[in-house]
């Protein structure tokens, strides 16, 4: 890290002027400042959430979203608009009820985790066995779990960078399979979220097995995974308080969710064609699908909107960069990463034409840092980005950056990546819940995102060197 920073500092002074013309830098800085009061991204977010709303992969909303996206790219004046078919197994939600039956009766708000199979129509009724963490469940003697409903209750910690999420979401992913392995009949978890609303957080769970050699996918059977739901934070608190009384606690829940055949959705793609290297691309975007509980404003209408607005404002400023800007609105990120995986497969033979990529998929909070994952020799270009981002209150976090989920298959295939880190302090209040709605978007914050993305995209697409390839394979 120190090496990179020193390198950045020295190269920055000596060579930065040679990478981009003064005039171009001035133009980008001016566009950046203009974007701070521009409402394009806010309006796109409002449009998608109002005119389409919830758009779970495979749902009617998904199909509407694809149509909306094609029309919106065209309306925004993109040079080229097209779609790329993405076929995946469709998962649908059904009835969702839950209650504490004894020693005190309470109605409980539950939501199925993505991938969960249904319970029988009459639901699952059983005694709760309480674990403070996934690790406690893993460590539990199977004889204690057998015939019971497991309940993992650890609460996600609020952090700016969202790092609290990774500490607890293993419980969401593995509760169903580990419970089944130990002979449990059902599993519920405290929502992975930082709010105290009665709206539970959904999210993906382990429900398929992928053969590592053949890549073939197989649905887990009912002996391998139990129907699993998340209950809201206040309900989890209540259940913990009931459990504290020391009497056996009987719980009942019903989930109607299940896998339901195949569906073909689309990655929707809009391009601003590069003037010299039209076939070489800077890939940006967000995912077009959302969970079904809210209208998917922060996850991820805002990411689609930020990247669409970025490309549009660059084009409207009369900039036709050296390389192509490709905005991809990814299909079915939420329970399959389907669009990104399909894209990586289709482009496996020209992945080296993908110069650098980034995704916006962490809400619409202000950006406070950038991170790169590029070849060392391209750090002067990153330094120039950092210099132009500094006035927005954005710092440089080093060259070992992570990337968005949809970027990960491309990164694995060799592409250099970039991250614009957003303030996620409030993100997990809303993430994957019914509360993910348009009223949560702050116009000034989403505009600041676009201003920052303009700097990254305008410089990355104009940069005539490259950012390296197969960096992570070579490391």
Task: Choose which of 198, 258, 353, 426 interacts with its own copies (CB under 8 A).
Answer: 198
Q: How far is the CB of 397 from its own copies (least distance, A)?
A: 31
For position 158 contacting its own copies by CB under 8 A, the verdict is no
Q: How far is the CB of 333 from its own copies (least distance, A)?
A: 21
Q: Of 52, 63, 69, which Cα lies nearest the Cα of 86?
A: 63
For position 72 contacting its own copies by CB under 8 A, the verdict is no
For position 438 contacting its own copies by CB under 8 A, the verdict is yes
Burial of 12 (0-12, 13-18, 19+ CB in 10 A): middle
For position 107 contacting its own copies by CB under 8 A, the verdict is yes
Q: Under DSSP, is residue 373 helix (H, G, I), strand (E, B) or coil?
A: strand
For position 102 contacting its own copies by CB under 8 A, the verdict is no
Q: How far is the CB of 101 from its own copies (least distance, A)?
A: 13
Place of tokens 């139990």: 226
Q: Of 8, 22, 35, which Cα lies nearest the Cα of 453?
A: 35
Q: How far is the CB of 156 from its own copies (least distance, A)?
A: 14
List alpha helices for 201-327, DSSP H.
Answer: 233-244, 302-316
Task: Choose which of 12, 125, 133, 197 interacts with its own copies (CB under 8 A).
Answer: 197
For its own copies, which is the closer residue by CB, 297 or 458?
297
Task: Choose which of 58, 162, 171, 294 interacts with its own copies (CB under 8 A).
Answer: 294
Window of 36-44, 74-82, 100-108, 119-127 that interacts with its own copies by CB under 8 A: 100-108
For position 45 contacting its own copies by CB under 8 A, the verdict is no
- 457 alpha-carbon distance from chain centroid: 20
Produce one character per residue of 331-346: b if its CB has 16 or more CB atoms within 10 Å, e if not. Answer: bbbbbbbbbbbbbbee
Contacts 24+ apart (CB under 8 A), 441-445: 441/42, 441/45, 441/46, 441/297, 441/298, 441/302, 441/364, 442/364, 443/39, 443/42, 444/36, 445/364, 445/365, 445/366
For its own copies, which is the closer residue by CB, 361 or 429?
429
Tell me which H or E stretch contains 98.
Answer: strand 96-102
Window of 103-111, 246-254, 324-332, 349-357 that interacts with its own copies by CB under 8 A: 103-111
For position 22 contacting its own copies by CB under 8 A, the verdict is no
For position 470 contacting its own copies by CB under 8 A, the verdict is no
Q: How far is the CB of 75 from its own copies (least distance, A)?
A: 15
* 374 touches 399 (CB < 8 A): yes
Q: How far is the CB of 442 from its own copies (least distance, A)?
A: 12
Q: How many CB atoms lie within 10 A of CB 124?
A: 21
For position 439 contacting its own copies by CB under 8 A, the verdict is yes
How far is Cα 334 from Cα 86, in angstroms, rounded to an integer?
Answer: 14
Pattern 394-433, its own copies, x by CB under 8 A: ---------------------------------------x
How far is Cα 404 from Cα 244, in angstroms, rounded to an integer?
Answer: 40
For its own copies, which is the closer residue by CB, 89 or 191?
191
For its own copies, which is the closer residue by CB, 181 or 237?
237
For position 363 contacting its own copies by CB under 8 A, the verdict is no
Q: Of 355, 364, 267, 345, which Cα lies nearest the Cα of 307?
A: 364
List alpha helices for 190-319, DSSP H.
Answer: 233-244, 302-316
Site of interaction with its own copies (CB under 8 A): 46, 49-54, 60, 104-107, 109, 196-199, 233-235, 237-238, 241-242, 245, 294-295, 433-435, 437-440
């Amino acid at each position: 890290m120190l090496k990179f920073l020193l390198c950045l500092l020295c190269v920055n002074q000596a060579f930065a002027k040679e990478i981009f013309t003064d005039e171009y830098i001035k133009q980008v800085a001016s566009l950046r400042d203009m974007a701070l009061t521009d409402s394009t991204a806010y309006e796109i977010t409002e449009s998608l959430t109002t005119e389409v709303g919830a758009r779970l992969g495979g749902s009617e909303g998904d199909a509407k979203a694809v149509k909306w996206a094609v029309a919106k790219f065209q309306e925004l004046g993109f040079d080229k608009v097209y779609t790329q078919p993405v076929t995946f197994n469709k998962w649908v939600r059904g009835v969702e009820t839950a209650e504490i039956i004894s020693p005190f009766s309470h109605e409980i708000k539950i939501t199925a985790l993505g991938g969960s199979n249904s319970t029988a129509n009459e639901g699952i009724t059983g005694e709760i066995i309480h674990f403070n963490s996934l690790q406690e469940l893993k460590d539990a003697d199977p004889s204690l779990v057998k015939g019971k409903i497991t309940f993992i209750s650890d609460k996600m910690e609020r952090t700016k960078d969202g790092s609290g999420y990774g500490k607890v979401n293993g419980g969401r992913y593995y509760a169903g399979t580990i419970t089944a392995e130990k002979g449990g009949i059902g599993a519920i978890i405290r929502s992975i979220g930082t709010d105290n609303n009665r709206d539970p957080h959904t999210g993906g769970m382990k429900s398929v097995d992928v053969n590592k050699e053949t890549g073939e996918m197989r649905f887990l059977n009912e002996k391998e995974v139990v129907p699993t739901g998340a209950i809201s934070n206040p309900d989890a608190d209540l259940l913990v308080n009931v459990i504290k009384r020391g009497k056996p606690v009987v719980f009942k829940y019903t989930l109607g969710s299940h896998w339901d055949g195949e569906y073909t959705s689309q990655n929707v793609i809009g391009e601003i064609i590069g003037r010299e290297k039209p076939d070489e691309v800077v890939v940006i975007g967000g995912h077009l699908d959302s969970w079904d509980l809210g209208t998917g404003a922060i996850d991820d209408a805002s990411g689609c909107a930020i990247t669409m607005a970025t490309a549009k404002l660059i084009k409207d400023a009369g900039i036709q960069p050296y390389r192509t800007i490709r905005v991809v609105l990814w299909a079915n990120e939420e329970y399959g990463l389907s669009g990104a995986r399909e894209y990586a497969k289709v482009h496996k033979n020209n992945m080296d034409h993908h110069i650098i990529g980034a995704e916006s998929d962490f809400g619409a909070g202000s950006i406070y840092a950038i991170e790169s994952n590029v070849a060392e020799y391209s750090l002067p270009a990153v330094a120039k980005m950092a210099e132009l981002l500094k006035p927005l209150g954005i710092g440089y976090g080093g060259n070992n950056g992570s990337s968005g989920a949809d970027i990960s298959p491309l990164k694995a295939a060799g592409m250099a990546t970039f991250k614009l880190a957003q303030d996620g302090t409030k993100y997990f209040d809303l993430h994957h819940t019914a509360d993910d709605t348009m009223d949560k978007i702050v116009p000034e914050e989403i505009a600041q995102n676009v201003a920052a993305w303009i700097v990254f995209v305008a410089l990355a697409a104009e940069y005539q060197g490259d950012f390296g390839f197969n960096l992570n394979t070579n490391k």
